[in-house]
């Protein structure tokens, strides 16, 4: 019969049966007197941390807050885009449409030059009449 070797630390099934069921199942061994203190420390840590963890209600509250902020952000972005499109459409119209909306120019008519009748010398009067 060939010799069977086991991994280091593994127990031969025949040795396990001779030692007893407690050691064969991984239990037993030397007693560690500090185990109770270590377990108490771990339980204390767990009792300290557990109340600070988020509950299902806390997560739902945060989820609804995030949904509200996302909706507000999306609506703000859409409103800004619409405002930009309207502004660009208003500012970049072709010149032909702008001239139709311009106000009519103001025309000032000056009356014709009136001929003086009195107080002029005859030479000046002759120049004006010609």
| 25-57: pLDDT as tens digits | 555 556 667 888 889 999 999 999 988 899 999
Residues 6+ apart with CB under 8 A from 20: 28
* Alpha-carbon separation of residue 2 from 5, 10, 106 (angstroms): 10, 18, 121
73-127 per-position pLDDT tens digit: 999 999 999 999 999 988 887 665 555 566 778 888 887 776 656 665 666 666 7
Residue 80 lies in a domain: yes
Comparing C-alpha atoms, which of 130, 113, 110, 114 is closest to residue 122? 130
* Alpha-carbon separation of residue 122 from 114, 126, 127, 128 (angstroms): 17, 6, 9, 10
- How much is the mean pLDDT over the chain? 76
Question: Quick one: tokens of 93?
Answer: 């119209």
Taking only Cα atoms into account, the Rg of the chain, rounded to an integer number of angstroms, comes to: 52
Residue 64 lies in a domain: yes
91-106 per-position pLDDT tens digit: 887 665 555 566 778 8
Query: How many folded domains does the chain comprise?
Result: 1
* Alpha-carbon separation of residue 90 from 43, 61, 85, 93, 94 (angstroms): 70, 44, 9, 6, 10
Residue 14 lies in a domain: no
Residue 33 lies in a domain: no
Residue 9 lies in a domain: no
Residue 36 lies in a domain: no
Print the domain residue range for 65.
Answer: 55-92
Task: Please name the helix (run of DSSP H) or strand (run of DSSP E) that holds residue 70, with its range, or none.
Answer: helix 56-91
Residue 38 lies in a domain: no
Residue 1 lies in a domain: no
Is residue 71 scored above 50 in pLDDT?
A: yes
The full length of the chain comes to 130
């Amino acid at each position: 019969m060939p010799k069977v070797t086991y991994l280091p630390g593994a127990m031969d099934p025949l040795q396990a049966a001779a030692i007893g069921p407690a050691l064969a199942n991984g239990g037993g061994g030397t007693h560690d007197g500090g185990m109770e203190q270590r377990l108490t420390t771990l339980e204390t840590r767990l009792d300290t941390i557990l109340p600070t963890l988020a509950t299902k209600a806390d997560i739902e509250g945060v989820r609804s807050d995030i949904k509200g902020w996302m909706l507000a952000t999306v609506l703000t972005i859409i409103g800004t885009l619409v405002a930009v499109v309207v502004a660009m459409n208003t500012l970049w119209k072709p010149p032909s449409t702008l001239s139709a909306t311009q106000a009519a120019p103001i025309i000032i008519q000056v009356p014709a030059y009136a001929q003086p009748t009195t107080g002029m010398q005859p030479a000046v009067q002759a120049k004006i009449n010609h």
